[in-house]
C-alpha cells in the first residue's frame, strides 16, 4: 500500500515528503516529477508567489539509477520565498531563539483555517496556522503523488483534468462537456490534460477560456476572488477495482475523501452527480453491452462506478473549489486580541487558483487508484505486479 506524508511550512526553508510502499523497479526521475510541478504553478489568476518559486523535488532516497528500490522515497523542495535575499522569513520562521519584534497576526480571514486552527491549538498568533494550512503544501503533494501517477501509467492508466466552470462562466450541461472531453479521452486521459494545458485557465474550450480569463480580470479589479468546478477523467482501468462489500473499500468514496482533503475543495460528484437527482432512471443508468470480448456500458453517466467498483469505463469525477479566502476588498473579522471588529488585512494571494488546483486533484487521486491496483494484483516489484495484471485483469 502506498502512503505518503508531507511536512513543511509555507514560508519555512522547504517542504519534505515521504512516499512509502512503492514497489521496486518503477522508473522514476526528478524530471518526471517536475513536469507536474511546473504544471501546478501555471494558471491565469495566480498570485505573485508563483512568479518566483521554481518548484523542484530532490529525490533523497529510495531511487537508484532511476528505479525505485521498494524503500521509502524521500523528497525535498526549497521555498524560494524563504531563501530570497530580501526575505524576512528566516527571522519570522526561526526554529529557535527569541521572538523579538516578530509581530503576532491577529486578524483571522473568514474562510481560511486561521480562527479555528488558533482555537484548536491555543495559539495567540495566527502565523503557525497560516503556514501549515496554506496550499503551498500541495506542491509536495503533487511531487509525492506523481510517483503513484507514474506507477499507474505502467498499467496504461492515465489521469487528466480540465476546468468546466469558473465563477459564472462554464459549459452548458453534461453533454457539452462530454463533446469536448470524450474524443480526447479515447486516446487516454493524458490527452485531456495536454489539451487543457494549452489554455491558461485549463479549459478545453477556446471561447470559454477567453470568457473565464475576462471574468478573473473583472473579479481581480473588484478585489474579490473566484473558484469553480473541474472534471478529472481516468482511462485504462480494469473493471472491479474497489469493492461493494464494505464501506471503506468503496473506491468512489475513497476518491471523494482524497479530493475533499485538498485545500478549498467543497464537494465531489461522480458522473452526472447532482444532476442524477434531477431526472429519472432511464436518463441515468448505463445500459450494458457485450462488445469485443468484454462487457461495456453504452453510456457512462455514472462516471465509471457501480457498487463502489470500477466498471472499466473511464472514471469521471468532478470537484468544486470555493473562491480564495484572501481578498483585496476586505471582509469584516474580529481581532483575536482586542475582540474588536476590523477589516481583514490583505497579503499577496491568488485571485483564482482553480486552473492550478486541477493538477493537484489529478495528483491526489493517483495513490488511491494505485492502491486499488495493488490490492487486487499486488506484489513487491513492478515485474511481479505487471505479470499478475496481464494474467488476471
Ligand X SMILES: Cc1cc2nc3c(=O)[nH]c(=O)nc-3n(C[C@H](O)[C@H](O)[C@H](O)COP(=O)(O)O)c2cc1C
Ligand Y SMILES: C=C(O[C@@H]1CC(C(=O)O)=C[C@@H](OP(=O)(O)O)[C@H]1O)C(=O)O
Helix or strand (DSSP H, E) at 83: helix 80-83
Q: Which is nearer to ligand Y, 310 or 333 (CB)?
A: 333
- Residues 255-294 within binding reach of ligand X (CB under 6 A): 262-264
Query: Does residue number 138 form part of the binding site for ligand X (CB under 6 A)?
Result: yes
| Least separation in angstroms between CB 35 and ligand X | 17
- Binding residue for ligand X, selected from 76, 146, 254, 349, defined by CB under 6 A: 349
Distance separating alpha carbons of residues 249 and 270, to the nearest angstrom: 17
DSSP label of 76: E
- Binding residue for ligand X, selected from 211, 231, 350, 362, defined by CB under 6 A: 350
Distance separating alpha carbons of residues 66 and 57, to the nearest angstrom: 14
DSSP string, 131-163: HHHSTTHHHHHHHHHHHHHHHHHTTT-EEEEEE
Cα torsion angle, 183, 188, 192, 195, sign: negative
Q: Which is nearer to ligand Y, 81 or 147 (CB)?
A: 81
> For residues 354-383, b (16+ Cβ closer than 10 Å) or e, as one string?
bbbbbbbbbbbbbbbbbbbbbebbebeebe
Segment lying near ligand X (by CB under 6 A), choices 9-17, 171-179, 228-236, 345-353: 345-353
Is 262 labeled as ligand-binding?
no
Is 229 labeled as ligand-binding?
no
Query: Does residue number 115 form part of the binding site for ligand X (CB under 6 A)?
Result: no
- Binding residue for ligand X, selected from 128, 267, 307, 325, defined by CB under 6 A: 325
Query: Does residue number 229 form part of the binding site for ligand X (CB under 6 A)?
Result: no
Stretch 355-384: interaction string toward ligand X, x if CB under 6 A: -xx--x------------------------
Q: Which residues bind ligand X (CB under 6 A)?
A: 47, 112-113, 133-135, 138, 262-264, 322, 324-326, 349-350, 353, 356-357, 360
Amino acid at each position: 500500500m502506498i502512503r505518503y506524508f508531507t511536512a513543511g511550512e509555507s514560508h519555512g526553508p522547504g517542504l519534505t515528503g515521504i512516499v512509502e510502499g512503492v514497489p521496486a523497479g518503477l522508473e522514476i526521475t526528478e524530471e518526471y516529477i517536475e513536469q507536474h510541478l511546473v504544471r501546478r504553478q501555471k494558471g491565469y489568476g495566480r498570485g505573485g508567489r508563483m512568479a518566483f518559486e521554481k518548484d523542484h523535488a530532490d529525490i533523497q532516497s529510495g531511487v537508484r539509477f532511476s528505479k525505485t528500490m521498494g524503500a521509502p522515497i524521500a523528497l525535498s523542495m526549497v521555498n524560494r520565498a524563504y531563501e530570497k535575499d530580501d526575505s524576512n522569513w528566516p527571522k519570522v520562521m526561526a526554529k529557535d531563539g527569541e521572538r523579538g519584534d516578530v509581530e503576532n497576526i491577529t486578524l483571522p480571514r473568514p474562510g481560511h483555517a486561521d480562527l479555528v486552527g488558533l482555537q484548536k491549538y491555543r495559539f495567540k498568533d495566527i502565523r503557525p496556522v497560516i503556514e501549515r494550512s496554506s496550499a503551498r503544501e500541495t506542491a509536495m503533494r503533487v511531487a509525492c503523488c506523481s510517483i503513484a501517477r507514474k506507477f499507474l501509467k505502467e498499467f496504461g492508466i492515465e489521469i487528466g483534468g480540465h476546468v468546466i466552470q469558473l465563477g459564472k462562466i462554464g459549459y452548458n450541461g453534461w453533454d457539452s462537456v462530454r463533446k469536448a472531453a470524450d474524443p480526447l479521452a479515447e486516446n487516454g486521459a493524458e490527452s485531456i490534460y495536454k489539451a487543457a494545458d494549452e489554455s491558461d485557465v485549463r479549459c478545453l474550450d477556446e471561447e470559454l477560456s477567453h470568457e473565464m480569463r475576462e471574468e478573473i480580470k473583472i473579479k481581480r479589479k473588484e478585489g474579490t476572488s473566484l473558484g469553480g468546478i473541474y472534471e478529472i477523467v481516468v482511462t485504462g482501468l480494469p473493471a472491479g477495482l474497489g469493492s461493494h462489500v464494505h464501506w471503506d473499500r468503496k473506491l468512489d468514496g475513497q476518491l471523494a475523501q482524497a479530493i475533499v482533503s485538498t485545500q478549498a475543495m467543497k464537494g465531489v460528484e461522480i458522473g452526472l452527480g447532482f444532476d442524477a437527482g434531477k431526472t429519472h432512471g432511464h436518463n441515468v443508468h448505463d445500459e450494458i453491452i457485450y462488445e469485443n470480448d468484454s462487457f461495456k456500458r453504452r453510456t457512462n453517466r455514472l462516471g465509471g462506478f457501480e457498487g463502489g467498483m470500477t466498471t472499466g469505463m473511464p472514471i469521471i469525477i468532478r470537484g468544486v473549489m470555493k473562491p480564495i479566502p484572501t481578498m483585496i476588498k476586505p471582509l469584516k473579522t474580529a481581532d483575536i486580541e482586542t475582540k474588536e471588529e476590523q477589516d481583514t488585512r490583505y497579503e499577496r494571494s491568488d485571485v483564482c487558483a482553480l486552473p492550478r488546483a486541477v493538477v493537484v486533484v489529478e495528483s491526489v487521486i493517483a495513490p488511491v487508484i494505485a492502491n486499488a491496483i495493488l490490492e487486487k494484483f499486488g506484489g513487491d516489484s513492478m515485474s511481479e505486479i505487471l505479470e499478475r495484471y496481464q494474467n488476471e485483469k
